[in-house]
Amino acid sequence: MTMTNMKCDVCQVGDAIGVASTSLPFSCAYCVTCAQHGADPEWMMNYYLFDVANGDPDMIKAGVIHTFKDGQYMSFHEWVKLQPVDVAAIEFQKSRYEKFMGASDGE
**Region from 1-9, 17-25, 90-98, 99-107 binding Zn ion, contact rule CB under 5 A:** 1-9
In the bound state with Zn ion, the residue whose beta carbon lies nearer, of 73 and 97, is: 73
User: 88 by DSSP, 3-state: which?
Assistant: helix
The correct pick among 3, 14, 17, 97 for binding Zn ion (CB under 5 A) is 14
Ordered DSSP codes for 16-81: P-EEEE-SSS-EEEE-HHHHHHT-B-THHHHIIIIIISTT-GGGSPTTT-EEEETTEEEEHHHHHH
The mark string for 31-70 relative to Zn ion (x by CB under 5 A, - otherwise) is: x--x------------------------------------
Tally of CB atoms within 10 A around 6: 9
Tally of CB atoms within 10 A around 24: 11
* Residue 74 sits in the site that holds Zn ion (CB under 5 A): no
**Region from 10-18, 21-29, 46-54, 91-99 binding Zn ion, contact rule CB under 5 A:** 10-18
* Residues at the site binding Zn ion, with contacts judged by CB under 5 A: 8, 10-11, 14, 31, 34
